[in-house]
Chain A
Amino acid sequence: MTVNVKKIHIPGTLSKKEKKLRDSFLLQVKNIPGGESLKKCIQCGTCTGACPVSYMMDITPREVIALFRAGDIESILSSRTIWICASCYSCTVRCPQGVMVTDILYALKRLAIENKIFPKRFPVFALSKSFVSITNIFGRSYEPGLIILYFLRTNPFKLLGMMPLFIKLALKGRIGFLPHKIKSAKKFSRILKEAEVMENIVPLQES
């Protein structure tokens, strides 16, 4: 994707939406241990070079930080980049300035979910959503359920394509057909409820 220059606002003249995104992003960054290192980025591009999947991204990791500085978080959120990241942390360990790139991409993912901004037909969020619902119900992952839920959300026909592998694994005893529900599932969901409340608590901003 080429970046639309007209959309980039000069800092200080941010749109209302952009201002809101920027504030909640900065709050998220504050929560990351070492997150403030974001300021130190020198735009060298080592993160992009270290990233094994950057060649499939529409905005590279370096450009993500540049776009944030230029005041265009919205473009980042509608890119595939944050969803392609496989959490391998190559960028984070290679960054000469100690920027926590992976964690910053996580923060952007959460921002995208909060504000419901997604790239068109890009299914990573569908998987995360399916994974979260399965974990919330059983307390553990349940692979067949996860895969079925995921393909129902995206492309049910592709489920058929998974069958040969599924059968092969099943023959080797590598499929758990029945879900395993944890014993204290009731208490687990009580914990989750309270955690949801905690998730939404916004710490007081320093003035």
Chain B
Amino acid sequence: MEYTYYPGCSIKTSAKGYEESLFYVFKALNLTLNEIEDWNCCGATSYMSTKETISLVISARNLAKAEKKSSQDIVSPCSACYTILYKTNYIMKNNFIMREKVNQALRQDDLKYNLSLDVRHPLEVLVNDVGIKTISAKATRSLTGLKIAPYYGGQIVRPDRGLDDKDNPQMMDLLFKALGAENVYFPLKVQCCGGMLMTTYPELGLDLNRKILESAQENGAEAIITTCPLCQINLEAYQKKINKKFKTDFNIPVLFFTQALGLALGGSPKELGLNRALIPFELKENAAEGLK
């Protein structure tokens, strides 16, 4: 199967490991990703919340560019880009005035969005299009013994798109359970990481992430599994600062879900970008024995 790929800015820099592992997983499952040519920033919430029409225009430019090439679904691995592109698509399809305004602006580059695409997150693509059964049949390494806290964050389940339960989503839980891992009790799995609040209001951002880390640690998680570059960096890179401020002792690896999945599909840590982690993660010996 083929998909149009919208990477998003952070996956090319701070979340390189996400892209490396995403490519590995998709290749291993015979899926093709075709990157949108000359894509631009989706605008993120910073743009969306300050200039509505312009933000819709810049994110719709990507939809129009993708549509020009093919009618494949768009796969967007960053939860924030996913939310923005999904929302833009929704507004374009449902708000006539906005659609005309946006298309009028896009005409400056001979572009027009004809509403034919769907925007999707790779987690949902893997679970729904490929299926957990097929994935676990292709796994060459068991994750048995690995205790994980699957962290969905906010934007993948909210606003409600009917893909999964919005309070207790199961996509990652079921996927990793099938691969042998143990999902720990993790009530904060959809709690917000604060996003850019870590920069603009650190006092609050650090506190939000402390709560999430605390919930994972006290339930015995050896790693937190994320679906978004921003959640990943907030949870991983600020653990030292959080330890200092709240006198805690967090040192939990924070992986992208594709990295953990890639390990099960036989990828090496380097192929999956695990060497880029600030807090190193290693699969335990007994799990590695499952290698065929």
- The chain A residues found within 8 Å of chain B, CB to CB, are 28, 31, 33, 52-53, 56, 83-84, 86-90, 92-93, 102, 105-106, 109-110, 113, 123-129, 131-132, 135, 138-143, 147, 150, 165, 168-169, 172-176, 180, 182-184, 187-188, 190-199, 201, 203
Contacts and interface: CB of A to CB of B under 8 A. Distances in A.
Nearest to B211: A52
Contacts of A92: 158-159
A18 B159 CA distance: 31
B47 A135 contact: yes
Contacts of B199: 127, 147, 150
Contacts of B282: none
A86 B58 contact: no
B105 A89 contact: no
A192 B57 contact: yes
A207 B244 CA distance: 59
A150 B52 CA distance: 21
Contacts of B40: 135, 139-140, 182, 188
A47 to B, nearest CB: 13
Interface of B: 9-10, 12-17, 38-41, 43-54, 57-58, 61, 83, 90-91, 94-95, 97-98, 101-102, 104-109, 111, 154-155, 158-160, 166, 191-192, 194-197, 199-201, 203-204, 208, 237, 275-278
Q: Which of A123, A195, A199 has the most CB of B within 10 A?
A: A195
B200 A127 contact: yes
Nearest to B84: A87
Q: Which of B47, B83, B159 has the most CB of A within 10 A?
A: B159
B191 A52 contact: yes
B73 to A, nearest CB: 22
Given A135-B43, A191-B108, A31 B95 contact: yes
A198 B46 contact: no
A158 B208 CA distance: 21
Contacts of A195: 53-54, 57-58, 102, 105
Given A110-B50, A132-B47, A191 B276 contact: no
Contacts of B39: 182
A200 B208 CA distance: 37
B54 A88 contact: no
Contacts of A53: 192, 194, 197, 204, 208
Contacts of B10: 141, 143
B38 A184 contact: yes
Nearest to B44: A131
Contacts of A124: 196, 200-201
- Which 8 pairs of residues, A with B, have the shortest CB-CB distance? A88-B192, A88-B154, A176-B13, A89-B158, A141-B9, A195-B57, A195-B105, A187-B109
Contacts of A131: 44, 46-47
Given A52-B192, A88-B154, A165-B237, A31 B105 contact: no
Given A56-B203, A86-B195, A191-B111, 16 more contacts: A31-B97, A53-B208, A84-B197, A84-B204, A86-B194, A86-B196, A129-B50, A132-B47, A132-B50, A139-B40, A143-B9, A173-B276, A174-B15, A192-B54, A195-B54, A199-B51
